[in-house]
Amino acid sequence: MAALVGRLGNGDLKGLIARNGIFIAFVVFMIAFGIGVDRFLTFQNLENVVKTTAIIGVIALGVTVVVLSGNLDLSVGSMLSFGTVMVVDLHDKIGPGAGILVMMIAVLALGAVNGLLIGFLRLNSLIVTLGMLSAIQGLTLIYSGGKNVDIDPSTQDTTWFRVFGRGEIAGVDMPIIIFFALAVVIGMIVAYTPYGRRVYAVGGNPTAAVFSGIRRNRVVFSTYLVSAFCVGIASIILGSRVMGSQNTVGQGYELLVLAGVILGGTSLLGGSGSILKTVIGVLILGFIQNGLLLLGYPFFAQWIVTWVVIILAVWLDVAAKRGRLLSPIA
Amino acid sequence: MTEPNPTLRLKGIVKTFPGVRALDGVDFDVRPGEVHALMGENGAGKSTLMKILAGVYHPDEGQIFIDDRPVVIRSPIEAKEHGITLIHQELSLAEEMSVAENIFLGELPRKKWGFVDWKTLDERVGTILQKLNADWGPRTRIGSLSIAKQQMCEIARALTHSAKIVVFDEPTASLTDAEKVVLFDVIEDLKAEGVGIVYISHRMEEIFKITDRISVLRDGSYRGTLNTRETDEDEITQMMIGRSLELHRRNIEHAEEGEEVLSVEGLSCGRLFQDVSFTVKAGEIVGFYGLVGAGRTEMAETLFGLRRPTAGKIRLAGEEVHIGSPSEAIEKGISLVPENRKEQGLVLGMNCRDNITLPQIDDLTAGPFVANGAEVAIYDMYRDRLQIKAPTWRTLVGSLSGGNQQKIVIGKWLSMKPRLLIVDEPTRGIDVGSKSEIHKLLRELAHQGYAIIVVSSEMPEVLHVSDRIIAMHNGRITRTFSADAVTEEDLIQAISGLTSDKAA
């Protein structure tokens, strides 16, 4: 929030609106929906939104780190399918603890493949992770043999694995706690550690980072491990909540996640943005979707609305930077 | 003497940005067939003025006249329509397209049905290139040309428009001497055709060679216009910075030579440079002088671990070392202030403090986190020592002037307490005031016992700071001079490869 408040300090009202357009739009939206839709501004509904957003949110934390370093990760959606199928399937076979461990190692290995190709071979991240998107989906289907997996119904209410998706502490749902706790940890790492500084430097100017003795390749590699780690955590939450998994459960998550990151205001060019911004971006996205559902629109309407919102967000962002809405050069 | 009416006249131009009065009532005019120099330190308002001419900014007050008619320039396209062409310091060419396509970009000659008329295009571009003495053709891919040649293409682009006013912004920054001659010929041709030329440069010798009048800006205000023939460097410098400098003084100090810090023997890197041998002692500045492409920068980059040598030995304090990466170089106490500060030296979107501490951020921790206090202390120390002018450490480096940016880079590497400091083009694109400050600083550092290598393509600079000068040509050392024995003639011969005898 400090960054936001700091920016409010200078500039005229017009600039202020332009710079923080998305947040102002968000507040207006919340008020409008609060008045127009009965159940929108109830504690239960708000908690529900944050809870459903938690999975996208957790993944978005990792993707933010990747984007800050100047790259993309589009493989997170199918990686979520893979992780969830695996952790659910292994639950009954080798137990929840070992299952989580094996799944995390497998997911980190996939992240390492991304990292090797993009960090050390310096291949384009869009191509590599788009390819991984379909490769991992294939891998998931090979693993499951095409069948949906679930945890034995008789143990679903007794296994400690249920705590991640269904548990709560002091009345707060576990997915929310995990999301915010992870946001604080990764947020601190990004904002206050030497590692975070290196990520920003590599994203801001890779050449200058190398000239400053930063091992660019390693930094890029590591961001994909962070991203994969977050997907692993999200898989545990999702698997635990549903107690089963379809093979394509994560389909489309990559775009929702990226939408949240962009909506928050982290630059796709790298080097600027923050975890806090992503948290806000993801929540905005969640509330918009929830509002639409409460208004009775079918759930797929949100896909179109999400697109419109992202375009508006990106437009306002560049308009604020150049000081007018339309491009100065015809 | 009757003077022709000016082609372009600016009257009382005022432009303010939040908190800054960037231009404060500037008057400026250019007559047809005249080269009018615009001078001033970085931050004096030259770029703002040029952006107003180009239609990027709009003046808050004041008027622009073209051929005595008041005009309003709302966009770069309108500027072009009014006959104003800018040759930017930073090139704006499409690398993957041909020379011809770039020159006529946006207005390619068409046949019926809208297809490009390649034949006419080639002919027209061919004529222009001939005029520029270019040894490349219209179909050459821009990306395959050297920076200097790309710049000539940018100039060619200006020639295709019937320009009334051509603005050159630091056009010679990356040109070789031979290319400069061609550029000056082109400017003479433009003059003869009655084009008015605005020439922005920090290089005095060029200003005196080709300009007719000189206007000076300082801190956004207009300080006056001088006839080039009736003035000298001192007068201009005084107008620009309000005090006089001794820029062309030779280095007359004799360094107290200490221990040998670096010794390089037979160092080669493929075709870039071969068989380079020299030593640098503590307390000494060794200047590397040569033309663009002589292999100086590549040699510096090899010492910093950015390139792998193909042969030769590097010894630091007598001990043979292998430097595989910049981080290894930093560990061994080598610092490099790179040639291009915006691309290699700085993360422009980061603040001053973060840029300065970037190479040592791992050592500045309290627990797992960066120690804020230690970082700010380092920034404060180098801000004071190098007189960096920035509002606070939170200021983004991208918004500082060139001189202050360069000081941030130097501060960044001094804070590493290196044994060997390599400075590549220490004052490129920096105004005279900051230039002399940086030169003074380098001498002071040598006094304090640093071993320093300065790579430069500006002769006054090399003469001014070096204790010894090593001349390079085509990847080889041609001669080594001591500061008191060097003459400009010998130096020019040595870097042109006219002499191959090695003197001590």
Supply φ then ψ for residue B264, to 5 degrees. Answer: -115, 135
Which of A18-22, A150-154, A165-169, B30-34 has the lowest average pLDDT?
A18-22
B260-269 and B311-316: which strand pairing?
Answer: antiparallel
B334-337 and B196-200: which strand pairing?
Answer: unpaired
For residue B147, give every residue at least 6 positions away whose Cβ sits within 8 Å of its Cβ, in sequence order, or none.
B91, B174, B292
Handedness of CA A273, A277, A281, A284 (dihedral sign): negative
Which positions in chain B have a beta carbon within 8 angstroms of at least one beta carbon in chain A? 18, 56, 75-77, 304, 306, 325-327, 329-330, 336, 338, 343-350, 354, 358-359, 361-362, 364-365, 368-370, 412
Q: With CB atoms and an 8 Å threshold, state whether A329 touches B338.
A: no
B2 located within any domain: no
B208 exposed, middle or buried (CB, 10 Å; 0-12, 13-18, 19+)? middle
The pLDDT value given to residue A5? 37
Q: Using alpha carbons, select from B341, B230, B294, B228 the residue that is nearest to residue B457.
A: B294
Q: In this structure, are B213 and B84 located in the same domain?
A: yes
Q: In this structure, are B21 and B128 located in the same domain?
A: yes
Q: Provide, as residue numbers in chain B, all residues whose Cβ is less than 8 Å from the Cβ of A204.
A: 347-350
The letter for the amino acid at A300 is F
Q: Provide, as residue numbers in chain B, all residues whose Cβ is less than 8 Å from the Cβ of A193.
A: 365, 368-370
| Helix H or strand E encompassing B479 | strand B476-482
Q: How far apart are CA A214 and CA B357, in angstroms?
A: 12
A28 exposed, middle or buried (CB, 10 Å; 0-12, 13-18, 19+)? exposed
For residue A137, give every residue at least 6 positions away whose Cβ sits within 8 Å of its Cβ, in sequence order, or none.
A78, A81, A82, A247, A248, A251
Shortest Cα distance from A270 to chain B (angstroms)?
A: 10
Question: What six digits make up the tokens of A15?
Answer: 């600039």
B345: nearest CA in chain A? Answer: A208
Q: In this structure, are B207 and B301 located in the same domain?
A: no
Q: Using alpha carbons, select from B87, B90, B96 the residue that is nearest to residue B132.
A: B87
The letter for the amino acid at B268 is S
Counting every residue, how long is chain B? 504
Shortest Cα distance from A24 to chain B (angstroms)?
A: 23
Q: With CB atoms and an 8 Å threshold, state whether A201 touches B365.
A: no
Q: Using alpha carbons, select from A68, A10, A54, A37 the residue that is nearest to residue A261.
A: A68
Q: How far apart are CA B114 and CA A57, in angstroms?
A: 51
Distances (CA, A) of B149 to A194, B95, B175, B498: 42, 12, 8, 24
Q: How far apart are CA B2 and CA A208, in angstroms?
A: 54
For residue B483, give every residue at least 6 positions away whose Cβ sits within 8 Å of its Cβ, in sequence order, or none.
B250, B251, B252, B254, B463, B466, B467, B468, B469
For residue A210, give every residue at least 6 positions away whose Cβ sits within 8 Å of its Cβ, in sequence order, or none.
A216, B306, B326
Q: In this structure, are B119 and B78 located in the same domain?
A: yes
Q: In this structure, are B206 and B274 located in the same domain?
A: no
Q: Domains in chain B: how many in total?
A: 3
Neighbours of A52 (CB within 10 A): 15
Q: Which of B241, B268, B294 is the last residue of a domain?
A: B241
DSSP B448: T
B90 located within any domain: yes
Which of A16-25, A183-192, A265-274, A283-292 has the lowest average pLDDT?
A16-25
Confidence at A330, pLDDT banded by 50, 70, 90: very low
B218: helix, coil or strand? strand
Q: In this structure, are B176 and B69 located in the same domain?
A: yes
Is residue B22 within 8 A of residue B48, CB to CB? The reply is yes
CB burial string A101-115: b at 16+ within 10 A, e below: eebbebbbebbbbbb
The pLDDT value given to residue A321? 66
Confidence at A9, pLDDT banded by 50, 70, 90: very low
Structural domain boundaries, residue B37 = 8-241
In total, the C-beta contacts within 8 angstroms joining chain A to chain B are 79
Instruction: List the alpha helices (DSSP H) in B104-232.
Output: 118-131, 147-160, 177-192, 204-210
Distances (CA, A) of B136 to A47, B107, B139: 68, 22, 8
Name the residue facing A211 among B76, B344, B348 (closest C-beta).
B344
Q: Using alpha carbons, select from B163, B150, B134 the residue that is nearest to residue B98.
A: B150
Percentage of residues of chain A with pLDDT beyond 70? 90
Q: With CB atoms and an 8 Å threshold, state whether A201 touches B336.
A: no
A39: helix, coil or strand? coil
The letter for the amino acid at B143 is G
Q: With CB atoms and an 8 Å threshold, state whether A10 touches B368.
A: no
Q: Which of B417, B452, B477 is the last residue of a domain?
A: B417
B252 located within any domain: yes
Is residue B491 within 8 A of residue B459, CB to CB? The reply is yes
Most A CBs within 10 Å: which of B81, B92, B361, B363, as the mutation test of the A interface? Answer: B361
Statement: residue A20 has pLDDT above 70: no
Digit-coded pLDDT (tens) for A91-146: 999 999 999 999 999 999 999 999 999 999 999 999 999 999 999 999 999 999 99
Q: Provide, as residue numbers in chain A, all residues whose Cβ is less than 8 Å from the Cβ of B359.
A: 212-214
B1 located within any domain: no
Instruction: List the alpha helices (DSSP H) in chain A.
Output: 2-8, 13-19, 21-36, 43-68, 76-94, 96-115, 125-144, 163-166, 174-192, 194-204, 206-211, 216-242, 253-264, 275-294, 301-322
Digit-coded pLDDT (tens) for A66-91: 999 999 999 999 999 999 999 999 99
Q: With CB atoms and an 8 Å threshold, state whether A10 touches B362.
A: no
Q: In this structure, are B17 and B66 located in the same domain?
A: yes
Q: Give the largest Cα separation in chain A, rounded.
A: 66
Sole residue written with tokens 């020159």: B103
B54: nearest CA in chain A? Answer: A329
B147 located within any domain: yes
Q: In this structure, are B35 and B110 located in the same domain?
A: yes
The pLDDT value given to residue B240? 79
For residue B60, give every residue at least 6 positions away whose Cβ sits within 8 Å of its Cβ, in sequence order, or none.
B14, B15, B16
Most B CBs within 10 Å: which of A211, A214, A327, as the mutation test of the B interface? Answer: A211
pLDDT (mean) for A11-25: 60
Digit-coded pLDDT (tens) for B270-287: 888 999 999 999 999 999
Q: Provide, as residue numbers in chain B, all residues whose Cβ is less than 8 Å from the Cβ of A200.
A: 347, 350, 354
Q: Provide, as residue numbers in chain B, all residues whose Cβ is less than 8 Å from the Cβ of A19.
A: none
Q: With CB atoms and an 8 Å threshold, state whether A212 touches B358.
A: yes
Q: With CB atoms and an 8 Å threshold, state whether A205 touches B412.
A: no
B184 located within any domain: yes
Is residue B438 within 8 A of residue B430, CB to CB? The reply is yes
Q: With CB atoms and an 8 Å threshold, state whether A209 touches B346.
A: no
CATH code for the domain in which residue B89 is found: 3.40.50.300
Q: In this structure, are B22 and B81 located in the same domain?
A: yes
Q: In this structure, are B258 and B390 located in the same domain?
A: no
B312 located within any domain: yes
A244: helix, coil or strand? strand
Which positions in chain A have a beta carbon within 8 angstroms of at least one beta carbon in chain B? 10-11, 188, 192-194, 197-198, 200-201, 204-205, 207-215, 271-272, 328-330
B143: helix, coil or strand? helix
Q: With CB atoms and an 8 Å threshold, state whether A194 touches B370.
A: yes
Shortest Cα distance from A202 to chain B (angstroms)?
A: 9
Question: What six digits make up the tokens of B348?
Answer: 């422009």
Q: How far apart are CA B13 and CA B59, in angstroms?
A: 6
For residue A317, give every residue at least 6 positions away whose Cβ sits within 8 Å of its Cβ, in sequence order, or none.
A21, A22, A265
The pLDDT value given to residue B504? 37
| CA dihedral of B330, B332, B333, B335, whole degrees rounded to 10 | -40
Q: With CB atoms and an 8 Å threshold, state whether B358 touches A214.
A: yes
Question: What six digits make up the tokens of B372?
Answer: 């804020």
Q: With CB atoms and an 8 Å threshold, state whether A208 touches B343.
A: yes
The letter for the amino acid at A231 is V
Sole residue written with tokens 């947040």: A23
A93: helix, coil or strand? helix
Is residue A287 within 8 A of residue A30, CB to CB? The reply is yes
Q: How far apart are CA A310 and CA A210, in angstroms?
A: 33
Q: In this structure, are B434 and B479 located in the same domain?
A: yes
* Mean pLDDT of the residues in chain A: 88
B227 located within any domain: yes
Digit-coded pLDDT (tens) for B64-82: 999 889 999 888 888 888 8
Q: Give pLDDT tens digits along chain B (504 positions).
A: 456 788 899 999 998 876 667 888 899 899 999 999 998 876 678 888 888 888 888 898 999 999 889 999 888 888 888 888 888 766 678 888 888 888 888 778 888 888 888 888 888 888 888 877 788 888 889 888 877 778 778 878 777 777 889 898 888 776 777 778 888 888 888 888 888 999 988 778 888 889 999 999 887 888 889 898 888 888 887 887 765 555 555 666 665 678 899 999 999 998 889 999 999 999 999 999 987 778 899 999 999 999 999 999 999 999 999 999 999 999 999 999 998 888 999 999 999 999 999 999 988 988 889 988 899 999 999 999 888 888 899 999 988 888 889 999 999 999 999 999 999 999 887 777 788 888 988 998 998 889 999 998 888 888 889 999 999 988 999 999 988 888 877 887 788 776 544 443
For residue A196, give every residue at least 6 positions away whose Cβ sits within 8 Å of its Cβ, in sequence order, or none.
A189, A190
The letter for the amino acid at B228 is T
Q: How far apart are CA B303 and CA B335, in angstroms?
A: 9
Q: In this structure, are B409 and B426 located in the same domain?
A: no
A193: nearest CA in chain B? Answer: B369
Inter-axis angle of helices A216-242 and A194-204, to 10 degrees? Answer: 110
The pLDDT value given to residue B243? 59
* Mean pLDDT of the residues in chain B: 85
Digit-coded pLDDT (tens) for A200-233: 999 999 999 999 999 999 999 999 999 999 999 9
Q: How far apart are CA B332 and CA B229, in angstroms?
A: 52
In angstroms, what is the C-alpha Rg of chain A? 20
B363: nearest CA in chain A? Answer: A194
Sole residue written with tokens 């500037």: B26
Q: With CB atoms and an 8 Å threshold, state whether B347 touches A198.
A: no
Is residue B278 within 8 A of residue B480, CB to CB? The reply is yes
Q: Which of B222, B241, B260 is the last residue of a domain?
A: B241
Name the residue facing A215 among B327, B346, B365 (closest C-beta).
B327
